[in-house]
Structure formats: structure tokens, C-alpha cells
């Protein structure tokens, strides 16, 4: 008989913990949440004090039955999900769903999955914290009330398929407001005057020059708005001596940065690794739950990754300081440990920052055991933690002012004198930072060149994932566990899109934001949302009643909801009529909306289904008949514009749904015939180009919708190959598959099990060697394969990330 049962969320976490507990314990996984509110109904009994109605999640009934059997046989059951609110709620749902007697169930939490942390946790088990559970319940019910009450309103007033959320709508509002600022921005002209200046050094034929820029004119800050003003200033400077009027030297200490918290990790992973917030958290979860290190087995490499606390344990500080003194020298080791304070008012100081579980386990020591993404993220976390305990960097700053007639030019220099923490964290000296010569006041200089230049003011920048997370954190919107889901949700809903790694609000996002701001100003107010987060924090600290919070919110919300039902503009039933007539039936066209945005539709719908795309100003984008015939039916092709850009569509639509992609440079990407046969219907496959690259599809589309990613010969050899890897969820073997982003591991039990994992480096095909060398570092270039095809990459990766296109004729 099993003496003790331990339940965690995932098989990977179960494997890592199991090796630390011994034979008296059986560790199993619940596979995340097992209970939730019903999918198709509100699931909240408002009349009974907002009592939630929970049910077993679809597909989890068999797992719950298995857990019940194991729990009945066990002497004690230890609930060990993660240590945050979400984990506490999972533990409580397990307690309820498995009908565990309170005296038999225990809660264990740990900040890292290491032998000492696990054993300590099981030596001091606790009971479930209902204050944490209630805080999570309150958040879940608040979000359900808003989502299930607002979404039908938007379906009724705008179009079906829309949704709104308590926090995600505020995030959309931030992006929408920035989009409006950019569209309303009026660019203004301004001019700058820069000069290349040198000392009068007769010993040098080519004296070193440095840059100076016009700073003041007639004692005031220089502001040149046009070329005429600039020419006038240049004329006033003519023949005037360049004399050093002031030299200011100062030193600046740059203190070590704190170790990562969730938001800063997501920001830096976005900037340095180009990871999305979702990808960052997925890989961090893998590092936390355990990676197979060979002889060590599955080992947790980092502490818990959902945290807003910068505190670290005394043991980890001691190890880091020993490492710094030994590997970097005493010059990098401060006399006392660096202690940081969390900026967030509600920071969980009982938690720790994100750090390596063992700082002595440097990235290079385990490089071969991690895939590329895991290594890069672990290296980022390791370097940041070790750097956080190093000495400050010292910069020497010099500012010189140079009088030239009525003008004063300014030159700034910056030099890194002492590396300190920057040896790991990187320093802020940029490529164009300059070292100024040691000149003295009243020294006369020579202007080697004077360059006036025209510029225009730029609108505020759009949010990237990094800057949006930073803004959410600054405003107190969301918590560490919610940043990544917020960003994923607002994209999935179609309210924002990412282009060139920047968020852009869609027309639909702008419309929904305007409607919600007008009728639900409190819910869309950032201060209100931040205050709600603080109230949830107080409930977690047993300083608030979650039912009272829901009652107060619902009284305000329901009043706004009733008013909005009466007064919100009904776009669906009273659409805006355009001045454009339908080309098919002559009736006026009207502006309509769907999940992809605004378009023109015939007012004679459903008798006439003519539509036209529109630009951001509502002007129709005219379809243009092209001198191209459809390869499926022979009819002419028409130029169309969709949410992903221009494409050709058959004019016989909807009878023929053939489309052809158009490249950014206007090249029509015709499908190529192949000798391959469709795996579904055995018709010939054709090779088409999409926005993510080339792919195979069935020539009989839409009758057969089979598609397959384009694979090279090396990919075909690897496809479906057994790897020796086991699935984390069902223990079936993992095989190599290829998708639009390249190779990955997939469970062989698909479609019953849809688990996937990144492909480890040791299973990747060997790159093809070339005679090319890297322009940046001189190392050999090899041919690699990515989602856009084959390319040249430097063998010095990840230190050198240089890539370039293959030369013509290179196979």
C-alpha cells in the first residue's frame, strides 16, 4: 500500500520531485486545473452571495477518478501545486474534487525544486490557505462576470464573436490610446547643427576629432525650425573662433541591477532574445520544473518564475559571493551583499526573485543538456543574478562647452573606468559614445566640418511586448502570473496585431475601446483596475471579504450594463450608410463589422452578398481585375486586400475559392506543380507561398484541405524518427515533426495526446559547411534551415548572431 501520495500539476515536476522523496511516496500529476466554472453558462449564483458553481473540466473526469483511487489507498495526501494563488486554488479544487478528509490532506510549497527545498517543505507541511484561494476565486469570478455580461452586449450591438475582459480591455485601451496619439500626431520640422572639432595640435597631421552639437543661441536653448533660421546662425558663426568656455568632469556610479522578477525577465527576454512573454514563461516553466541533466537526472534549474519580489535567500547570496571572488576577483566583490527592495506595493516578499537554484551551475557547464532556447534564457537569468551581487560600474563623464560667436556648442564624452557588474550584465556605453581630449578652458579649437541637418519630430513609439509589460507593471494592472496571458488574449481577440514587433490597435480594437470607455468608464480606468488588484492582495492577506468585493463591484457594473443596453449605439441594426453603390445590385453599401474589422457590405444582404475592404479612413480598396487566370477554373483573378495584405482571389468566388499570394515587392507567387500526392485523397500536391513561407497543399482545395509544411531532404529523413524521448503527459514515445517554425518533438499518440516540445540540439541535423566566413567575427558560416527556408548562419552563435542570405546558385 502506498503510504503517501503527492499531487503536482505536471509530469515533469513529478519526475523531478520523485527522486528526492524516496519509496514512501508516490508522485503523480493532476495536469493543471481539474475544476472550473462551466464553459457555457455564467456559473455564479448571484442571489446566493455569488456562490460559484464548479464542475470537473471536460476531459479530466478519468484523471480525477484515478486520483481518487490513489488517494483512498494513501495514508496521507500532499498537495504540491505552485506556491502562488493559482497553485493554492488548484490544491483546494483537488481537496474538494477528491473528497479528501481534512486530517488526511496537507499542503506543501517550495520556491525551488531542489533536494533541500523539497525535504524541508515535507518536514513542515501546512493546510490550504483559504485567503489565497478566496483571492483567486474573487479574481476568477470578477473576470467571469465582466466577460459573460459584456460579450453578449457587444454581440448584440456590433457583431457576434467579440469579447471583453476586466483586465485585457484595459490593456487594449493602452494600445488604442497610443494608436490615436500616433494618428493625430502632427510632425514638425527642426534643424540641428553638428560639427567635427579638433584640437590645434601641430604634431599631428590628422588630429583626432570629436563631435559637438549646437546647444544654445544668444544665451537661450537653441531651437531652429527651418533652413532659413539655420543659414542665419551659420552666417553669424562665420569666421568666429571656437573657444572652450567650460569643461565639467564628473564620475557616475552605476549600481548592479536587482535579480529578475517576472516582468523584468519578460522585458529582457523580449529585447535580448526576441522571445514573446508567453514563450518566456513556457521555457522558464521547463527550467523550474526540471531538465534532464544526465547523471543528475531531472533537475530544477531556477526558482519559481511568477514573482514580484527581488528578495533572495542568504544561502544563494553566500554561494554567489564565493563564486564572484573566485572566478572574477575581489575587485568585483562588494564588502557587503547587495540588498534590493521591491518597487511594487503588493510585492510578495515571502517569495524570492528568479535566480538559479545553484549559482555554481554555470550555463556553460550544462550547455549540452539544454536546447537553444532553454540555454539562452538560463544564461540570461544566471548572469543577471550573479551580476546583482557585483560592485557598481564607474563611468567618467565629460561635458565641454565651446563658444562660437553667439552660439554655444556642447560635446559629451563617456568612458567606462571600472567594469563592475557590467562584465555580466552589459554596460551602457554605446558605439557613438566618444572620448574627449584633455583640453583646458579658453583653449582654441578647429572646426573640421560643420553639418546642418533637417529633422522632423516623431510620434510616440508603439508598445512592444517589453514596453507594454513595463507599463502594465507601472500602472499596477495584472500580476506576475497574468502578464503573458493578457498579451496573448488581446492578440487572439483581434483587437491588436503585432507588426515589426510592435503592437498596433486594429479598427475593431479602437471601436470596442471607445464603446467601453463611454459606457463603462470605471472598468476601463487604469486606477480602478489597479485598486482592484490591491483589494485582491488584501483578501490574500486575510484583510478583506471576497463576497463583499464582488457585491460592491457588481452593483456598479450591473447599473452601467443596464444603461449601456439602452443607450449604446447599435452599430449592427443602424449601420453607417456610405455614398458608394453596390456594383452588383446598385443598392447603397453600408459599413459593417466582423472579427477582422470594418468593411463595406451591400444593404441588400442577404439577397446580395457583395463586400469591399476599406482602409483606416473608411475609403474602399477597389478590387482590381488582373491579367491572370485561375489555375483551378480558368476565370480571371481579382486583386484583394485582407488582414494579412494583398492577394489574388478567383472572381468566381464563392464557387471557386482559389487564392494566390503576393509578395511585399509585388511579385505574384504562383503555385508550383509537384510530383507528390495528397495523403488524404491522392490528388497532386501543389507548392504555394503564404505569409510564413512555402507549403504544400492539395490541388483540389477546397474539396480537400490537406496541407504540409515544406521540408528539405534532411527534414524528410528526420520526420517521424524515433528519438528515445518520452512524452511528459502520457509516456508515449516522442517523434520529430516539422511545422511552420521548423522541427519539434510531438507525441506519437497524436491526436489522443497533443503534447509537443522543442527539439533538443543533439537531435538537430548537422548544418552544411561552406567556404563563407562571417563578416562580423571571421568564423565559418554554415547553411541552416529556418521557417523562411535556408540561410547562412555564423558558427559563433550565440555570441555572434550574424546571418545572411545564401548567394545565388548556392545549393
Q: Which residue has the cell 475544476?
A: 35
**Cis ω before 606 (30° cut-off from 0):** yes
**Kind and range of the H or E run holding 232:** helix 227-237
Q: Which of 25, 288, 304, 332 is catalytic?
A: 304
**Kind and range of the H or E run holding 249:** strand 242-254
CA distance 772 to 784: 13
Q: Which residue has the cell 560635446?
A: 411
Q: Which residues of 506-516 are buried (b: 16+ CB within 10 A; e: fewer)?
A: bbbbbbbbebb
Cell of 227: 533652413
Phi/psi of residue 789, nearest 5 degrees: 110, -160
SS3 499: strand
Q: Which residue has the cell 506543380?
A: 673
Question: Is 304 designated active site?
Answer: yes
CA distance 619 to 279: 38
CA distance 6 to 79: 6
**Kind and range of the H or E run holding 397:** strand 393-404
SS3 420: coil
CA distance 405 to 425: 44
Cα diameter, the chain: 99
The string of DSSP letters for 283-314 reads HHHHHHH-EE-GGG-EE--B--S--------H
CA distance 176 to 512: 10
Burial class (CB in 10 A: 0-12, 13-18, 19+), 486: buried
**Cis ω before 702 (30° cut-off from 0):** yes
HEC readout, 734-766: EEEEEECCEEEEEECCCCCCCCEEECCHHHCCC
Give the strand order in the sheet containing 768-773.
768-773, 780-786, 789-794, 803-804
SS3 707: strand
The pairing of beta strand 756-758 with beta strand 636-642 = unpaired
8 A C-beta contact, residue 487 and residue 277: yes
* Alpha carbon separation from 10 to 118, 418, 734, 779 (Å, rounded): 16, 46, 17, 42
SS3 645: strand
CA distance 532 to 251: 44
SS3 6: strand
* Alpha carbon separation from 672 to 652, 657, 678, 697, 699 (Å, rounded): 22, 17, 14, 10, 10
Q: Which residue has the cell 484583510?
A: 543
CA distance 170 to 524: 5
Q: Among all residues, which ones are annotated catalytic? A: 304
Amino acid at each position: 500500500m502506498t503510504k503517501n501520495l503527492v499531487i503536482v500539476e505536471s509530469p515533469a515536476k513529478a519526475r523531478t520531485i520523485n527522486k528526492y522523496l524516496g519509496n514512501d511516496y508516490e508522485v503523480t500529476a493532476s495536469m493543471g486545473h481539474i475544476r472550473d466554472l462551466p464553459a457555457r453558462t455564467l456559473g455564479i449564483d448571484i442571489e446566493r452571495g455569488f456562490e460559484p458553481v464548479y464542475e470537473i473540466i471536460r476531459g479530466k473526469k478519468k484523471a480525477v477518478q484515478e486520483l481518487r483511487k490513489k488517494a483512498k489507498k494513501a495514508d496521507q495526501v500532499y498537495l504540491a501545486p505552485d506556491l502562488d494563488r493559482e497553485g493554492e486554488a488548484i490544491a483546494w479544487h483537488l481537496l474538494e474534487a477528491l473528497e479528501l478528509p481534512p486530517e488526511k490532506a496537507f499542503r506543501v510549497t517550495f520556491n525551488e525544486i531542489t533536494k533541500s527545498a523539497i525535504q524541508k517543505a515535507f518536514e513542515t507541511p501546512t493546510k490550504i490557505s483559504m485567503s489565497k484561494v478566496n483571492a483567486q476565486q474573487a479574481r476568477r469570478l470578477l473576470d467571469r462576470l465582466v466577460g459573460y455580461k459584456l460579450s453578449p452586449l457587444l454581440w448584440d450591438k456590433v457583431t457576434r464573436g467579440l469579447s471583453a475582459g476586466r483586465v485585457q480591455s484595459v490593456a487594449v485601451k493602452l494600445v488604442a490610446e497610443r494608436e490615436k496619439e500616433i494618428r493625430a500626431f502632427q510632425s514638425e520640422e527642426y534643424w540641428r547643427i553638428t560639427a567635427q572639432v579638433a584640437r590645434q595640435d601641430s604634431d599631428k597631421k590628422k588630429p583626432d576629432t570629436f563631435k559637438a552639437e549646437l546647444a544654445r543661441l544668444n544665451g537661450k536653448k537653441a531651437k531652429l525650425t527651418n533652413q532659413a533660421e539655420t543659414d542665419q546662425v551659420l552666417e553669424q558663426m562665420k569666421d568666429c573662433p571656437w573657444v572652450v568656455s567650460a569643461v565639467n568632469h564628473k564620475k557616475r556610479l552605476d549600481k548592479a541591477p536587482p535579480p529578475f522578477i517576472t516582468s523584468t525577465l519578460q522585458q529582457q527576454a523580449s529585447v535580448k532574445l526576441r522571445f514573446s512573454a508567453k514563450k518566456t514563461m513556457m521555457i522558464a516553466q521547463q527550467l523550474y520544473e526540471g531538465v534532464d541533466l544526465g547523471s543528475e537526472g531531472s533537475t530544477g534549474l531556477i526558482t519559481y518564475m511568477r514573482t514580484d519580489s527581488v528578495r533572495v535567500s542568504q544561502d544563494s547570496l553566500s554561494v554567489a559571493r564565493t563564486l564572484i571572488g573566485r572566478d572574477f576577483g575581489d575587485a568585483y566583490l562588494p564588502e557587503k551583499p547587495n540588498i534590493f527592495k521591491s518597487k511594487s506595493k503588493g510585492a510578495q516578499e515571502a517569495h524570492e526573485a528568479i535566480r538559479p537554484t545553484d549559482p555554481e551551475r554555470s550555463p556553460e557547464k550544462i550547455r549540452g543538456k539544454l536546447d537553444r532556447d532553454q540555454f539562452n534564457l538560463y544564461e540570461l537569468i544566471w548572469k543577471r543574478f550573479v551580476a546583482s551581487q557585483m560592485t557598481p560600474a564607474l563611468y567618467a563623464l565629460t561635458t565641454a562647452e565651446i563658444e562660437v560667436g553667439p552660439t554655444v556648442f556642447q560635446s559629451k564624452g563617456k568612458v567606462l573606468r571600472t567594469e563592475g557588474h557590467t562584465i555580466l550584465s552589459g554596460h551602457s556605453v554605446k558605439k557613438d559614445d566618444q572620448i574627449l581630449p584633455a583640453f583646458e578652458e579658453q583653449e582654441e579649437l578647429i572646426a573640421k566640418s560643420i553639418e546642418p541637418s533637417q529633422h522632423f519630430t516623431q510620434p510616440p513609439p508603439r508598445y512592444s511586448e517589453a514596453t507594454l509589460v513595463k507599463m502594465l507593471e507601472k500602472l499596477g494592472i495584472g500580476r506576475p502570473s497574468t502578464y503573458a496571458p493578457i498579451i496573448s488574449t488581446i492578440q487572439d481577440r483581434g483587437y491588436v496585431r503585432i507588426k515589426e514587433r510592435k503592437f498596433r490597435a486594429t479598427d475593431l480594437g479602437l471601436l470596442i475601446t471607445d464603446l467601453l470607455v463611454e459606457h463603462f468608464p470605471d472598468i476601463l480606468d487604469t486606477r480602478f483596475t489597479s485598486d482592484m488588484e490591491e483589494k485582491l492582495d488584501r483578501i490574500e492577506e486575510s484583510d478583506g471579504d471576497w463576497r463583499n468585493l464582488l457585491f460592491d463591484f457588481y452593483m456598479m457594473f450591473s447599473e452601467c450594463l443596464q444603461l449601456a443596453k439602452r443607450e449604446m449605439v447599435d452599430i449592427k441594426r443602424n449601420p453607417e450608410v456610405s455614398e458608394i453603390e453596390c456594383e452588383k445590385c446598385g443598392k447603397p453599401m453600408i459599413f459593417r463589422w466582423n472579427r477582422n474589422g470594418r468593411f463595406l457590405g451591400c444593404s441588400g444582404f442577404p439577397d446580395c452578398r457583395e463586400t469591399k475592404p476599406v482602409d483606416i479612413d473608411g475609403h474602399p480598396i477597389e478590387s482590381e481585375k488582373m491579367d491572370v487566370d485561375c489555375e483551378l477554373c480558368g476565370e480571371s483573378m481579382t486583386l484583394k486586400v485582407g488582414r494579412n495584405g494583398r492577394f489574388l482571389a478567383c472572381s468566381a468566388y464563392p464557387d471557386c475559392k482559389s487564392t494566390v499570394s503576393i509578395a511585399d515587392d509585388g511579385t505574384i507567387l504562383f503555385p508550383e506543380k509537384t510530383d507528390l500526392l495528397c495523403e488524404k485523397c491522392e490528388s497532386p500536391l501543389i507548392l504555394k507561398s503564404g505569409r510564413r513561407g512555402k507549403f504544400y497543399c492539395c490541388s483540389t482545395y477546397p474539396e480537400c484541405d490537406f496541407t504540409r509544411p515544406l521540408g528539405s531532404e534532411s527534414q524528410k529523413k528526420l520526420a517521424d524518427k524515433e528519438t528515445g524521448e518520452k512524452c511528459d503527459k502520457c509516456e508515449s514515445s516522442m517523434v520529430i515533426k516539422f511545422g511552420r517554425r521548423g522541427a519539434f518533438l510531438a507525441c506519437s499518440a497524436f491526436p489522443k495526446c497533443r503534447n509537443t516540445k522543442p527539439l533538443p540540439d543533439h537531435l538537430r541535423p548537422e548544418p552544411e559547411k561552406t567556404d563563407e566566413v562571417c563578416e562580423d567575427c571571421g568564423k565559418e558560416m554554415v547553411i541552416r534551415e529556418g521557417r523562411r527556408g535556408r540561410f547562412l548562419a555564423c558558427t559563433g552563435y550565440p555570441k555572434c548572431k550574424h546571418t545572411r542570405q545564401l548567394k545565388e546558385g548556392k545549393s
